[in-house]
Structure 1
C-alpha cells in the first residue's frame, strides 16, 4: 500500500487549484447575472417606452420593420406614428394690434451752451453741483470783482465832477440871460455860455455811459446760466484765472427737459405721417435700449425734415420726450418704434406660432383630441410677441408655439407648460420608497404618457438590485438610446430647469457619459443602502 505524504508543496498545489475553480465559477456567475440584468433593463426600457407611447430604442433604427428610413413615418427624429410629441400652446385671441415702424435714433439736447466768463479774473466760487438741473439766470460761479469795482468807482468820480461843472455852467447861463435882458452884457457872451452848457451835458452823458459799462462788467463777475438745463462736469477749478477766450469755458449746459430724438424712417411712410401731423393727431414714439429689449420712454413726433435723404431714401423725424426723470441723455443711441396706426379687434397669434413652408405661412392647431393640423394664414402687422393674421382660425383655438420643429400634420401631441419651471416634476418632487401615494403615473411612470425615470434617480428598494446591475453593465448602445441623440427624452421634464438646459446642450457622447455616471452613482447608493 503506497504511503501518502502531506507535503507543503502539495498542499499549495491543491489550494491553488481550488482557488482557480472558485474564481472560474465566480466569473461564470457574474457573467450570467450581467446578462440577466441587461435583458431585464432592455425589457424595462421597452415597457416604459410602450407605456409612454414611444417606440423602443432598438425599433427606431433605420430599416426596422414598420419604421422606415430617416424622415419616414417612424423616424425617431421626426416622430413615429405612435410617438406623442410634447408641445406648448397658446390660444388665439382678438386684440388691438399697433402698426409699428422700427428704426434707430439718437437723442439730442434741445439746446446746448458752453458757459464762458465774459470778463477775466480769478475764479473764486462754483455755485452748482455737477449734473444738477439749473434755471435760466441762476448764478453758477463767482469771479474776483475787486478790479472792476475800482474801475467803477473811478468812472463814477469822473461823472460826479462833470455833473458839478454842468450845474455851474447852467447857473452862469441863467445869470447871463438876465444881464442880457438889461443890456448889461454882449450877446456873444451869452452864446458862448450856452455852448459850454451843451458841451458839459455831453460830457456828463459820456460819463454816465462809462459808469453803466463799468457796472455791467462788474455784473459779469457773477456767472449765470443762460438757459435752463442740466450742467455737466466742471471745466475750471477754484483759483484758476478764467477769461472769455477759454474754449472749454467753466461748464456746459444741455437742455434735456424736453429732449429731442432724431431718427429716420422710409420715405414710403411719409404720406401717412404728414396726414397725421396736418390733422394734429399724435404720432407716438417708443424709445428702447439699443438691443430693443428694455423700454425707456414714450414721446411724440414734433416735426419732419424738409427733404428726403437720397442716399438712404429716408426722411428724418424729430420727437420730443418729457424726460422728467433725466433718464435720457444727449447722443444716446436707442431703438425706436413709431406707431403709425392701430388695427382694432384683430385676430392675433404669438409670432412663434407662425411658420413658413412650401404652402406659405401656416400654424399648427391642436384639437381637443390633442391632434395637430395645419392652417394656412396670412400674417399682418406685428406688435411685440403677437402678430395679426388672416385665415381659418377661431378665437380660443390653441396653436403650437414650442416643439413645432418635429411636428407633422395629424401627429399626436401632449400639451406641456411653456415655462419649464411650471412643468410636471420641475419642482424636484421625486418618488417615494415603497411606492408612496401620489398622482397615478407621476411616480411610477406606469400611467398613460408617463416618461421613463431619469437615469440615476432613486427607485423603490424592490427594484434596486436589478436596476443596479442594468445600470452598471448596460451596453453602450443602450446608454445612447437613453441619451436620445438630438431628441429630448421624456424623462428630462422631471428634472430641474437648469439640469434640463445643461443636458440639452451636451452632444451625444457627453450625454452618454452623463447618463452612465448617474447610473453608477445610483448603483453605489443602492449598494450602500443594502
Structure 2
C-alpha cells in the first residue's frame, strides 16, 4: 500500500525529470535564425580593376625654371637725349628693328671735324710725298744734301702717322654715331620701359631702357641629383635624332604647358647641393612658358615594354611583402607581387597576369576565401568573377 508521503515524493521526482528533459531538448534544438545566419554569409562589396599589359614610360619629376635662350638688357652706349622710342611695351620685334634713337648732333659735328682734319693730313702727306720724290732725283746730281733728303723722308713718315691717327678718330666717331641708334639684337618681346622720350641717358646709369627677351624657342633648367649623371649621359649619347622627351606642367598636377627635348648637361656638379643642371629646349609659339617661371618637369628616362599595370590603390603592404587581393570565382585571395615601378596613379608589378581582377577599394573586410560583390561591375570584372579570364 502506497502512503501519501511516498506518492508525493514520486510525483516531485517525475516532474523534475520531465522539466530537465524538456530544457535539454530546447537547448540542443537549433533555432531558425541561427541556422539561417550560419547558412547565409553576406558578400563584401568591393570595387575592382583589371590588370593591363602595356608599355609604361618611366618618368622623373622635378622642379624647373624657365629660361630665355636670349635675354638682352638694352642700355645706352653714349650719353645723350632720348629723342625717339618707336617700340611699345610688350611688342614683339625682329633682329635689327630700331628700338631707340639718341640725339646725335654733337657726335655728327665731331665726326665732321675729324673728317676735315683727316683731309688736311692727307693733303699734307700728298705734298710731302711729292717733295720726297723730287729730292730723291736731286740727290743723285748732288743738288741737295743727303741730310735734306732724310729730313723729308721723316716728314713723310710723320704725316703718314698723322693720317692714320685722323682715320682712327673718324672711325671712333662713326662708332659713337652708330650707338645713337639702338637696334634689336635678337627676336623677342620688349619689356616694360624704364625711361621715356625726353630723358637724358648716361652710360654710367645702372638701369637700362628695357629688355628684349626671346620666347620661342625657350629653355627649362632642372637640377637633378648627381647620382643620375650616368643615366642622363646615356639619354644624350647617340640620341641626336630622338632626344629624351620632357613635359613641363604648371605645378604638381597642373596644366601641361609644353613638351620639349633634353638638350644638354651642365659641365660641373654643384659642390653645395650635389646636383647637376640639365637644360631642355621647348617650342613656345603660343607663349605658355614664361621666362623665370617655376614649372614641374617630367623627364622620361626609359620605357618598360609589355608591363603589367595595376592602380596604385590596389597595392597592400603585408608583413614582409607587397600584395594585392585577386578576385577568382567570386571570392578573393591574397597574391604577393613585386613592384618594378610606381607613381601616384599606377604600379608596374610582376606576379600577376594580364586580365586578372584585383580589388582597388573595400580591402578592410577582406579575408582569404571571402565572397565579394562587385560594385559598378563592368564586362571585364563580371567575366573574371564568373571564372573566365578576359584578354
Pick closer, same or farther for the CA change 1:83–1:396 going to 2, 3 Å. Answer: closer
Corresponding residue for residue 468 of structure 1: none
Distance 1:265 1:317 in 2: 8
Corresponding residue for residue 485 of structure 1: none
Pick closer, same or farther for the CA change 1:417–1:131 going to 2, 3 Å. Answer: farther
Distance 1:313 1:164 in 2: 69
User: How many pairs does the alignment contain?
Assistant: 340
Instruction: List gaps (5 residues or longer) in structure 2.
Output: 1-32, 379-391
Corresponding residue for residue 346 of structure 1: 307
Corresponding residue for residue 289 of structure 1: 250
Pick closer, same or farther for the CA change 1:181–1:267 going to 2, 3 Å. Answer: closer
Say what the alpha-carbon RMSD is for the aligned residues.
Answer: 3.1
Q: Any idea what SS the aligned residue of 2:69 has?
A: strand
Q: Any idea what SS the aligned residue of 1:296 has?
A: strand
1:189 has 2:140 as partner: no
Distance 2:366 2:91 in 1: 59
Kept in 2: contact 1:299–1:319 (CA 8 A): yes
Matches within 5 A, 1:166-315: 166-280=125-239, 282-309=243-270, 313-315=274-276
1:140 has 2:68 as partner: no
Task: Provide Cα deviations, 1:383-433, integer angstroms capped at 9, x if missing partner.
Answer: 673321112x33223333344455555233133179xxxxxxxxxxxxxxx
Give the deviation of 1:106 after TM superposition.
1.9
Corresponding residue for residue 377 of structure 1: 337
Give the deviation of 1:327 after TM superposition.
2.1
Kept in 2: contact 1:285–1:301 (CA 8 A): yes
Give the deviation of 1:295 after TM superposition.
1.9
Give the deviation of 1:209 after TM superposition.
1.3
Distance 1:204 1:306 in 2: 49
Give the deviation of 1:362 after TM superposition.
2.8
Distance 1:165 1:264 in 2: 67
Structure showing the higher helix proportion among its residues:
1
Task: Provide Cα deviations, 1:125-170, integer angstroms capped at 9, x if missing partner.
Answer: 2233434454444432111111111111111122222222222223
Q: Any idea what SS the aligned residue of 1:194 has?
A: helix
Give the deviation of 1:119 after TM superposition.
0.5
1:106 has 2:62 as partner: no
Give the deviation of 1:321 after TM superposition.
2.6
Q: Any idea what SS the aligned residue of 1:226 has?
A: coil
Pick closer, same or farther for the CA change 1:104–1:417 going to 2, 3 Å. Answer: farther
Pick closer, same or farther for the CA change 1:264–1:183 going to 2, 3 Å. Answer: closer
Distance 1:129 1:331 in 2: 22
Q: Any idea what SS the aligned residue of 2:291 has?
A: coil
With a CA cutoff of 8 Å and minimum separation of 6, indicate the structure with the bigger relative contact order: 2
Kept in 2: contact 1:98–1:383 (CA 8 A): no
Pick closer, same or farther for the CA change 1:367–1:263 going to 2, 3 Å. Answer: same
Kept in 2: contact 1:97–1:343 (CA 8 A): yes
TM-score w.r.t. length of structure 1: 0.57
Give the deviation of 1:347 after TM superposition.
0.9
Corresponding residue for residue 316 of structure 2: 355
Give the deviation of 1:120 after TM superposition.
0.9
Distance 2:288 2:205 in 1: 31
1:336 has 2:297 as partner: yes
Q: Any idea what SS the aligned residue of 2:280 has?
A: strand
Distance 2:118 2:161 in 1: 11
Instruction: List gaps (5 residues or longer) in structure 1.
Output: 1-64, 67-72, 75-79, 419-530
Kept in 2: contact 1:92–1:348 (CA 8 A): yes
Corresponding residue for residue 398 of structure 1: 357
Pick closer, same or farther for the CA change 1:286–1:405 going to 2, 3 Å. Answer: farther
Kept in 2: contact 1:287–1:335 (CA 8 A): yes
Matches within 5 A, 1:422-461: none
Distance 1:374 1:104 in 2: 38
Matches within 5 A, 1:410-425: 410-416=370-376
Give the deviation of 1:215 after TM superposition.
1.1
Corresponding residue for residue 92 of structure 1: 51
Kept in 1: contact 2:44–2:365 (CA 8 A): no
